Amino acid sequence: MARLFRDSSSRSSDLAAGAAAGNASALPLPSPLPDLGVPLSAAELRATAYEILIAASRATGAKPLTYIPQSASTPSSTATAASTSSLSSSIHRSLMSTAAASKVKKALGLRSSSLSASSKRHGTRRPATAAELVRVQLRVTEQADARIRRALLRIAAGQLGRHAESMVLPLEFLQQFKASDFPDPHEYEAWQLRYLKLLEAGLLFHPLVPLKKSDISAQRLRQVIHGAYGRPIETEKNSKLMEGLCSAAKALAGRSLCETFDECHWADGFPLNLHIYQMLIEACFDSEDGAVVDEIDGVVEILTKTWVILGINQMFHNLCFAWALFNHFVMSGQADIELLSGAENQLTEVVKDAKTTNDPDYCDVLSSTVNSIMGWTEKRLLAYHETFSASNIDSMQGIVSIGVSTAKILAKDISHEYRRKRKQETDVVVHSRIETYIRSSLRTAFAQKMEETGSKRSSRKSMPVLSILSKAISDLATKEKTFYSPILKKWHPLATSVAVATLHSCFGNEIKQFIAGLTELTPDAAQVLKAADKLEKDLVNIAVEDSVNSDDGGKLFIREMLPYEAENVMANLVKAWVKERVDRLKGWIDRNLQQETWNPKANGENFAPSSVKMMRIIDETFQAFFQLPITMHSTLHSDLTAGLDKNLQYYVSKSKTGCGTQNTLIPQLPHLTRCDVGSTLFKKREKPQLLLKRGSQVGSTTYGASDIPELCVRINTLYYVQTELENLEKKIKTHFRNVESIDYSTDELNIHFKLSQAACQEGIRQLCETFAYKVIYNDLSHVLLDSLYAGGTASNRVEPLLRELDPILRMVSGIVHQGVRNRVITSLMKGSFDGFLLVLLAGGPTRAFTLQDFQMIESDFRALRSLYVANGRGLPEELVDKASSEVKNVLPLLRTDTGTLIERFKQALSQSCGSATKSGFPMPPVPAQWSPNNPNTILRVLCYRNDEAASKFLKKAYNLPKKL
């Protein structure tokens, strides 16, 4: 057993030499047995083992040693003859027959060959008996064998009827061997020294029956042995040293744990007996290639004959043989799969034995042996990606099986106390073990891939490391699924799920660190995140496929795979990018609008330069967005659109801020009063009390006549923005078609700038109204509110108003964009018609109309209306008709006689406000729109009617004086 148990420096050297001499390609495992404490080399233990084997084979059980006299023949022939006549028939049985149908090999799952390895090695000459095969395997020479057999014959002649187990063989051999039996005196001295060391080891260091400190025999034996170490022993019968040695040794060997007295316990103490027996076990293996010999049945049968001397039983034999099988597999460089299979099958017997014994010695050696085997297997299984490849994958299943078996043994243990503390189910232990192998090996493989991808980075600078790594991990997962998992599934049905969950976690740690350092979505970052997302989906799919038939659908391991959320990370980075661009544009708008002059000469297009720059920035922003290395433009663009839409709305709002509103530009209606152009009070007043609330633009600048071009530029600017938004929406649709395979209409996408489009529309309307009100009630107030019909209808007609409106219309035509020009002129037209009515219905006491004035007023209205029609060159006639309909409806009241007006007023007032009371008529409210059926409108016509009937009615109804 030289290659199995190394317990001293000399034995280690012997092991290395043995490994180098044979075909083994790896060193043996460290011995699991305790050190003997006595410097017995492997060769010395082999020699001892062979001596015990021959002695036990010559006389086993009830058959004593038999004396056969020596003949005159040569010593070698005599020994051979004696051996042949003394060994039992089982030992003489033909090895050819035992090799042909080996029960041991069949039990171990090993194949039997027609010609044994020893036969091949020795050519046509092969050992005739199992004993001879053992001698060859244990490297005992024929001369040494003959010497041992002669000694045994002498012993038998002197102690007829004695059993081998009842003798202290070292003492017997010491007395039988003479210096003349050895060709070299040094060899003789070495043999004597070996026997002394055996006695010391068996009776003093490792006795079967524990020694007491006061044991005199032990003290005397120790003194004799130590005294004999320094000089050769005199073995004559009258030698005092020999007498003392025999006396002390036999006294110690004769002690027993039970009442049996015909036994000598010199070699059955633990662990000396196992060291010796392991040397015998070595005979089961070919000394050159380490394979189990085909004659294993005969060899094992001989070995069992030594059990009575060595105190070995079937359990110890099973354990020792399992260790030997496994160790020879290791020494074969893991090439001999049959040895692995044999070790695997033999371990099943060990597992059974472990459940049925409480022997402390067995438990100790079992624990150390199993730990040693498991230590070797786990070193490989914890990194099985490095250990197993296509060339040796066949051995993986056996090694896993052995690893699991040893784990079960250690988990169950053999001590009752441990059993009470540990009650795990076998399946739990096995699953846990397999999971440990998978997770450890994949973490190791992952680390190796990390190192490899780092080295590849220098040669593939265009691709980020984590992108390369994700591809490598995907390949690793596929290899695991197809190459390793089918083997591991025998013990863990969800082996693949464990593997991909582990890989997912390993890569997850890396991607989390990567994400933590991201500040922007660069092409490299996007490539990594896309690769991570693809890897995650691949791993999850593998796990789902693997666990489809499991009880919980693999939820345990799928839940373990915490999402990378790569898409969310990309989305958040895009949102951050969008927010940064939107905020930047907002600041840009604030700065540029403060500097904007709204001057039509700023550029040739008559709209604000800031709007052009702003739309270019927005266009560039969208182009940059669609160049982002993402696949979710259709999902994320809404944030960008919404943000820019708000910015545009903000720009539009700022563009019309301070331009004035209807409330600030239209003068307040004066209190109802009776007209009297001949009043002395009126003659003292120079102007009517029509006050205009003027608006102010940004910077509190008051509008004047020069503000008209600025308003036109503002209107143009909003129209330009509105038009560009429509073009931008078309561009966005084109971008979507280019970057994504959209299988739905782009109309379903939120690509419309609803807020800013509505703001532009409303802003243009407001600015057009502001423009109109400003022109009519501010810039042209002197020819409309102050002059038209003031003091007399005939003297202040509409021509001055028309003369001043004409250049304004030409200015509008020259500045305002064609697309919005009619809207501006329409607003101006509507404002002029409103102002015309305001003069007629709320012009103050300076206005007074007779029935005859109607023709002049109607003529003026037609002239004002014709200004906008411009003989077909102006606004469409139907548009002018619609805008002037309010004036048309009210004008007939001016030619209605006073009595009829009073009756219509009473009827309209009764319908809207109720009947008159004793205190007078109720005051009708001002309507939103003047109407010939509205009592307030009729009342105002009456107030400005210059006749006696109107004066009397107004005095009576509302106590309005006839004269001011």
Residue with more model confidence, 815 or 233: 815
**pLDDT confidence of residue 261:** 61
**pLDDT confidence of residue 24:** 42
Measuring CA to CA, which residue among 297, 305, 281, 304 is closest to residue 95? 297
**pLDDT confidence of residue 62:** 38
Measured CA to CA, the distance from residue 490 to residue 408 in angstroms comes to 15
Mean pLDDT to the nearest integer, 250-262: 78
**pLDDT confidence of residue 963:** 58
CB 165 within 8 A of CB 128: no
Q: Is the pLDDT of residue 508 over 60?
A: yes
Measured CA to CA, the distance from residue 820 to residue 852 in angstroms comes to 41
Provide the pLDDT confidence category of residue 647 given band limits of 50, 70 and 90.
very high
Residues 6+ apart with CB under 8 A from 939: 672, 905, 924
pLDDT digits (tens, 9 = 90+) for 656-684: 887 877 777 788 887 788 876 544 333 33
Measuring CA to CA, which residue among 136, 154, 237, 143 is closest to residue 181? 143
The tokens for 306 are 């030594």
- Pseudo-torsion of CA 642, 644, 647, 653, nearest 10°? -70
Residues 6+ apart with CB under 8 A from 471: 531
Q: Is the pLDDT of residue 943 over 60?
A: yes
Mean pLDDT to the nearest integer, 282-301: 89
Q: Is the pLDDT of residue 831 over 70?
A: yes
Residue type, 952: K
What DSSP state is assigned to residue 201? I
Q: Is the pLDDT of residue 871 over 60?
A: yes
Mean pLDDT to the nearest integer, 443-459: 81
* pTM of the predicted model as reported, rounded to 2 decimal places: 0.70
Mean pLDDT to the nearest integer, 235-257: 83
Measured CA to CA, the distance from residue 289 to residue 625 in angstroms comes to 71
The tokens for 327 are 């160790």
Residue type, 194: R
What DSSP state is assigned to residue 200? I
pLDDT digits (tens, 9 = 90+) for 751-764: 788 999 999 999 99
Measuring CA to CA, which residue among 504, 770, 751, 771 is closest to residue 640? 751
The tokens for 442 are 């994949």
Residues 6+ apart with CB under 8 A from 511: 466, 528, 532, 564, 566
**pLDDT confidence of residue 160:** 67
pLDDT > 70: percent of the chain: 83
Measuring CA to CA, which residue among 634, 629, 617 is closest to residue 735? 634
Sole residue written with tokens 């500097």: 595
Q: Is the pLDDT of residue 23 over 60?
A: no
Measured CA to CA, the distance from residue 400 to residue 414 in angstroms comes to 22
**pLDDT confidence of residue 788:** 94
Measured CA to CA, the distance from residue 381 to residue 334 in angstroms comes to 13
Measured CA to CA, the distance from residue 187 to residue 740 in angstroms comes to 92
* Neighbouring-strand partners of residue 920: 917
CB 347 within 8 A of CB 400: no
State the CB neighbour count (10 A cutoff) for residue 327.
Answer: 28
Measured CA to CA, the distance from residue 286 to residue 278 in angstroms comes to 15
CB 406 within 8 A of CB 323: no
Per DSSP, the three-state class of 285 is: strand
Please measure the distance between the N-terminal and C-terminal CA atoms of the chain and give it in whole angstroms: 143
Per DSSP, the three-state class of 596 is: coil
Per DSSP, the three-state class of 499 is: helix
The tokens for 771 are 């423009």
CB 322 within 8 A of CB 349: yes
Return mean pLDDT, the chain: 82
pLDDT digits (tens, 9 = 90+) for 794-822: 999 999 999 999 999 999 999 999 999 99
pLDDT digits (tens, 9 = 90+) for 51-105: 999 998 875 433 444 444 433 333 433 333 334 334 444 444 445 545 556 788 8
Measured CA to CA, the distance from residue 531 to residue 470 in angstroms comes to 6
Query: Highest mean pLDDT: which of 451-455, 707-711, 832-836?
Result: 832-836
Measured CA to CA, the distance from residue 571 to residue 574 in angstroms comes to 5
Residue type, 487: I
**pLDDT confidence of residue 421:** 42
Residue with more model confidence, 743 or 597: 597
pLDDT digits (tens, 9 = 90+) for 532-588: 999 999 999 999 888 887 776 667 788 888 999 988 898 888 889 999 999 999 999
pLDDT > 90: percent of the chain: 46
Q: Is the pLDDT of residue 780 over 90?
A: yes
The C-alpha angle 538, 543, 547, rounded to 5 degrees, equals 150
pLDDT digits (tens, 9 = 90+) for 388-435: 998 889 899 999 999 888 888 887 654 444 444 444 455 678 888 899
Mean pLDDT to the nearest integer, 864-884: 90
pLDDT digits (tens, 9 = 90+) for 155-207: 888 776 678 888 899 998 988 888 888 888 888 888 889 999 999 999 999 99
> Which secondary structure element, helix H or strand E, spans residue 348, and what is its range?
helix 337-354
Return the HEC string of 713-745: HHHHHHHHHHHHHHHHHHHHHHHHHHHCCCCCC
* Neighbouring-strand partners of residue 696: 702
CA 932 from chain center: how many Å? Answer: 79
**pLDDT confidence of residue 407:** 84
What DSSP state is assigned to residue 482? I
**pLDDT confidence of residue 70:** 37
pLDDT digits (tens, 9 = 90+) for 922-932: 888 999 899 99
Sole residue written with tokens 């780092």: 454
Provide DSSP, 786-818.
Answer: TTTTTT-TTTS-SHHHHHHHHHHHHHHHHHS-H
Q: Is the pLDDT of residue 692 over 70?
A: no
3-state helix, strand, coil in the chain (%, to 5): 65, 0, 35
**pLDDT confidence of residue 359:** 87
CA 622 from chain center: how many Å? Answer: 32
Label residue 909 exposed, middle or buried (CB < 10 Å: 0-12, 13-18, 19+).
buried
Count of all residues that appear for the chain in the document: 964
Rg (C-alpha) for the chain, rounded Å, is 59
**pLDDT confidence of residue 918:** 63
Measured CA to CA, the distance from residue 267 to residue 170 in angstroms comes to 10
**pLDDT confidence of residue 677:** 56
The C-alpha angle 496, 502, 506, rounded to 5 degrees, equals 145
**pLDDT confidence of residue 548:** 80
* Neighbouring-strand partners of residue 849: 945
The C-alpha angle 109, 113, 119, rounded to 5 degrees, equals 130
Return the HEC string of 84-135: HHHCCHHHHCCHHHHHHCCHHHHHHCCCCCCCCHHHHHCCCCCCCCHHHHHH
